[in-house]
């Protein structure tokens, strides 16, 4: 696992959050991982794009927030500025390039809506 935190940046890892092997957290602003989150192997959460794409562009740096009981499958990449709502699931290999509402399953590159999650508000994945 690799956690990189720039000066002045903040990583918040809530109670019972689990980060599997090979996870990379690259934080230049803020990354918040909510309670009971499950982060699968080889996932990347990066709140910066490190370099501008076009001449004259600024480097993008924007906070990432994962709500309660979020599950990221193996190899998910979460891009700068994304919020993933409570109980959401992101399928293996997906790239999160848009905010994901609570209680939804998303998949693909870029990730898009697949179906609703069926769970009560107090559900916690084992």
Does the annotation count 50 as an active-site position? yes
Which of 68, 80, 77, 13 has its CA nearest to residue 41?
77
CA distance 94 to 106: 8
Catalytic residue (one of 50, 51, 54, 87) = 50
Q: Which tokens in the block code for residue 24? A: 């990379």
- Which active-site residues does the annotation give? 50
């Amino acid at each position: 696992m690799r956690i990189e935190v720039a000066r002045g940046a903040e990583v918040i890892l809530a109670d019972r959050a689990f980060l599997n092997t090979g996870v990379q957290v690259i934080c230049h602003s803020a990354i918040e991982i909510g309670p009971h989150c499950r982060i699968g192997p080889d996932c990347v959460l990066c709140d910066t794009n490190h370099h501008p794409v076009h001449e004259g562009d600024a480097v993008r740096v924007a906070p990432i927030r994962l709500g309660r009981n979020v599950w990221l499958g193996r190899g998910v990449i979460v891009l700068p500025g994304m919020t993933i709502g409570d109980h959401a699931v992101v399928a293996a290999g997906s790239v999160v390039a848009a905010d994901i509402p609570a209680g939804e399953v998303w998949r693909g590159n870029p990730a898009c809506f697949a179906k609703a999650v069926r769970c009560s508000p107090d559900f916690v994945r084992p």
